[in-house]
Chains A and B, each alone.
Chain A
Amino acid sequence: MAQTDERQEQAVSRRKFLKNSGLVLGGLVIGGVAGSLLKTQGPPVPQAAPAAPDFNQALMYFTPEQFRVVDAATERIFPEDENGPGARALGAAYFIDHQLSGDWGFNARDYMQGPFFPGEATQGYQGRLKRREIFDIGIQEMNNYSTSKFGKRFYELEADQQDAVLKAFETNEVKLTTISASGFFQMLRASTLEGIYADPLYGGNKNMDGWRLKRYPGNQMAYTQVIEQDQFVKMDPKSLRDHQHG
């Protein structure tokens, strides 16, 4: 019951949204997401047995534009190649999005009380910005730098141009005032690796394929039989979900 109600409500509010925005009645051409809502009309194309949708792959924090930048950047940090999938196929950008929407994004367990003073590098992060704010600024600056250097937004660039942009951030060649370019890059790199190798429950490491790349067995309970062996012992990984329902 409750579910049907919710769906109806959503349908109503979407109709209302379209009406209020004047898209339907005015017939103006508007770009971006709102425009694409209109294009998805029309009869559904019959398909072979559809795969179960991944409800986890939806945005909790990023705007779609931000997501495109991060998705493209993670793929350069850990690209698809002959070894197997890259960050994009593994869902690393979804992982980062989900992390930013929670405790980590809000620095909930960090000491964020003032006063704030710049410190020595050995004293660690002393800024007042939260991780989600650092990402907001960093992503914007990636697009700004890409546009001024190559005339396009980051995710529209060629792979080697994207690498040049990332390199410029990594080495502080781009000069930013509010955040450290290299600090942002390090955060992006570290969270990309987390998105590739964290348990799939967090939205990355899709299908445990990140672990397969590394031949990491995931959440096994015991290695008593393996510990003394000379040969490398390969096993199919298990996730925390296997453990909960197993």
Chain B
Amino acid sequence: MARRLPKVDVVIVGVGWGGGIIASELTKQGLTVVGLERGKERKTEDYYMVHDELRYALRYELMQDLSKETITFRSNTRIRALPMRQYGSFLIGTGLGGAGVHWNGQTFRFLPYDFEIRSKTIERYGEDKIPEGMTIQDWGITYEEMEPYYDRFEKMAGISGEENPLGGKRSSPYPTPPMKQTPAIKLFAEAAKKLKLNPYMMPSANLSQAYTNEDGVSRAACQYCGYCERFGCEYGAKADPVVTVIPVAKKTGKFEIRTHSYVRRILHTGNRATGVLYTDTTTGEEIEQPADIVVLTSYVFNNVRLLLLSNLGRPYDPATGKGVIGKNYAYQVIRGGATGFFEDREFNLYAGAGALGITLDDYNGDNFDHSDLKFLHGASISLSQTGLRPIANNPVPSGTPNWGKEFKAASLKYFYRTLGVGAQGASMPFRHHFLDLDPTYRDVFGDPLIRITFDFEEQDRQLAAFTADKCGQILKEMGATHVDVRRELGPYDITPYQSTHNTGGVIMGASPDTSAVNNYLQMWDVENLFVVGATAFPHNSGYNPTDTVGALAYRAAEGIAKYAKGNGGLLV
């Protein structure tokens, strides 16, 4: 029998960006909140030895321990899903702050088009433009409605940036100015302008200057140390939950964090959640935490997995297209890019920051005419200078052997003479892309792993080839002496790193028939259960997800507070 604890107002499963924002907002409103986090405690001082590429970037020090739990993957239902035994395609966060600790900080808003993608596509091109099997749908919320929540997330985090000339309207400028421009960034800006494109500095959670937010949290400016992605920031300059929202929640005295607490089931009677069951991983003890409201903030895979393991909501069935839990899993099309080699120029590429870069959206969303193109949506195109690290980066022009004397000479020569221009392509949902429980493989507790069924589609291949050419053009205009363009997308492969931008599975919408949660991320079927995170995205845009995850978390927090004070029922 599990030990039963006294009831609290709200229990949160997982303390990353989603959990941290919910906790800070609700405790400020006087609710008592318990945050259960499977990983360990973390603080900025832990990162004094963080400039260690091997330990953090290649041995994944801060990420989920796959020996205990992983995902399984298959490209379609005809083949057997097998476990992702080692990291590759994406990296899953764990511990206080979640993946928010080791993210880059590239903080983009989605486009107005994204939130009404189906209506706008039909309006401009007719319904026939949507290919067979592509399950795009409107989000049940518009960009105008999202705007205040984006604004709140950006002000809390202190995002450094300048207005996107092709983006949605902003109610206020970014709270801090853009980051410093490097020579490579300037080169991109000039080339893009010559090509009549609209570049702007990448919005960044790496602070361009010292900043104090409305919660009174003060943070130092970024030092361009080049150890952002996959690392924690020892300066607290990169906005992460540990240096922003979590301390605010703690200060109220209403937030209790329990680390090493692995949530295994959501408890419920009928269609009301009553709390959660978790295991204290230090003792093995099973504990029941009752709560009036349960909030899932355990990232895409565990949000879906916990619902399915707990028999909550209607599981998605790809054969009929019915059911909603696990529906519309989407990812990202990252491979269509280009690499430029500059024979007579060197750049200080060891210096950089996770979100230092420059971007353009001329080929993103519906900012360009798709009438003659065989794909919908598009990609943001960026040059970023994240800090080149020596093990992972050994660029050589195509045709160079990849070991031996010639390789050595070329890799030394081109280390600082190579610039990449990359496309971050949107991923559209298809009826046969989904998440469910694996029938064979289990975690350390004996519970089924989550299973991904996903592959790239013709749409993605066309998109990658299109954006790769654009990236190549920009590099040529920048004066590269040799350009390698990567047009071939290939099948989706779990082994090379692409991006940790997994989305969908508990999607939002205007109707319970086609979505799992409403636009407060409240479950249609279980009114006191909120599911927060990129699980709510009905499709994935041509950007990084976290600004939208954060904005939706602020929106959900507002809804939860309303729900807690009201007489129950659905908020919309």
For the complex formed, measure the closest distance between the CB of A210 and the CB atoms of chain B, giving whole angstroms: 7
Q: Cβ of A110 and Cβ of B86 under 8 Å apart?
A: yes
Q: Cβ of B82 and Cβ of A117 under 8 Å apart?
A: yes
Which partner residue on chain B sits nearest A78 by CB separation? B408
Given contacts A216-B350, A227-B351, A230-B183, contact A112 B412 (CB under 8 A): no
Q: Cβ of B54 and Cβ of A202 under 8 Å apart?
A: yes
User: Within the assembled complex, what's the spacing in Å between the Cα atoms of A110 and B68?
Assistant: 8
Q: Cβ of A121 and Cβ of B493 under 8 Å apart?
A: yes
For the complex formed, measure the closest distance between the CB of A201 and the CB atoms of chain B, giving whole angstroms: 8
In the bound complex, residues from chain B placing their C-beta under 8 Å from that of A76 are: 403-404
Q: Cβ of B495 and Cβ of A124 under 8 Å apart?
A: yes
User: Within the assembled complex, what's the spacing in Å between the Cα atoms of A198 and B86?
Assistant: 20
User: Within the assembled complex, what's the spacing in Å between the Cα atoms of A8 and B197?
Assistant: 76
User: Within the assembled complex, what's the spacing in Å between the Cα atoms of A107 and B83?
Assistant: 14
In the bound complex, residues from chain A placing their C-beta under 8 Å from that of B347 are: 232
Select which of A121, A123, A193 is within 8 A of B74 by beta carbon: A123
Q: Which parts of B82-99 form the interface with A (CB within 8 Å)?
A: 82-86, 88
A interface residues, tally (CB under 8 Å)? 62
Could you give 17 example pairs across A and B, Cβ below 8 Å?
A81-B405, A83-B408, A86-B408, A123-B73, A125-B86, A202-B54, A211-B390, A214-B411, A215-B415, A218-B51, A220-B225, A223-B224, A224-B223, A228-B181, A240-B51, A243-B49, A244-B49
Select which of B85, B356, B407 is within 8 A of A126 by beta carbon: B85
For the complex formed, measure the closest distance between the CB of A99 and the CB atoms of chain B, giving whole angstroms: 9
Given contacts A214-B415, A216-B390, contact A110 B67 (CB under 8 A): yes
Going nearest first, the 10 A-B pairs with the smallest beta carbon separation are A223-B351, A222-B223, A197-B390, A198-B54, A122-B493, A219-B51, A232-B346, A111-B70, A223-B224, A119-B82
Q: Cβ of A163 and Cβ of B82 under 8 Å apart?
A: no
Which partner residue on chain B sits nearest A79 by CB separation? B405
- The verdict on B182 contacting chain A, using a C-beta distance below 8 Å, is yes
Q: Cβ of B224 and Cβ of A222 under 8 Å apart?
A: yes
Which partner residue on chain B sits nearest A194 by CB separation? B391
User: Within the assembled complex, what's the spacing in Å between the Cα atoms of A115 and B83?
Assistant: 10
For the complex formed, measure the closest distance between the CB of B228 and the CB atoms of chain A, giving whole angstroms: 12
Q: Cβ of A112 and Cβ of B224 under 8 Å apart?
A: no
For the complex formed, measure the closest distance between the CB of A246 and the CB atoms of chain B, giving whole angstroms: 11
List 5 extra interface pairs beyond A76-B404, A124-B82, A243-B48, CB under 8 A. Answer: A77-B403, A115-B440, A124-B88, A126-B85, A193-B394
In the bound complex, residues from chain B placing their C-beta under 8 Å from that of A39 are: none
Given contacts A77-B403, A223-B223, contact A111 B83 (CB under 8 A): yes
- The verdict on A229 contacting chain B, using a C-beta distance below 8 Å, is yes
Q: Cβ of A214 and Cβ of B66 under 8 Å apart?
A: no
In the bound complex, residues from chain B placing their C-beta under 8 Å from that of A222 are: 223-225
Which partner residue on chain A sits nearest B391 by CB separation? A197
Interface-side segment among B8-16, B24-32, B57-65, B266-274: B57-65
Encode B36-79 as 1/0 by CB contact (under 8 A) with A.
00000000000011011110001110000111011001110001
Encode A196-215 as 1/0 by CB contact (under 8 A) with B.
01110110000000110111
In the bound complex, residues from chain A placing their C-beta under 8 Å from that of B49 are: 240, 243-244
User: Within the assembled complex, what's the spacing in Å between the Cα atoms of A240 and B52?
Assistant: 8
- The verdict on B174 contacting chain A, using a C-beta distance below 8 Å, is no
For the complex formed, measure the closest distance between the CB of A31 and the CB atoms of chain B, giving whole angstroms: 33
Q: Cβ of A109 and Cβ of B73 under 8 Å apart?
A: no
User: Within the assembled complex, what's the spacing in Å between the Cα atoms of A32 and B439?
Assistant: 53
Given contacts A120-B79, A124-B84, A125-B85, contact A198 B53 (CB under 8 A): yes
- The verdict on B254 contacting chain A, using a C-beta distance below 8 Å, is no
Which partner residue on chain A sits nearest B440 by CB separation? A115
Given contacts A199-B54, A223-B224, contact A217 B350 (CB under 8 A): yes
In the bound complex, residues from chain B placing their C-beta under 8 Å from that of A120 are: 75, 79
User: Within the assembled complex, what's the spacing in Å between the Cα atoms of A69 and B408?
Assistant: 20
User: Within the assembled complex, what's the spacing in Å between the Cα atoms of A198 and B59?
Assistant: 12
- The verdict on A233 contacting chain B, using a C-beta distance below 8 Å, is yes
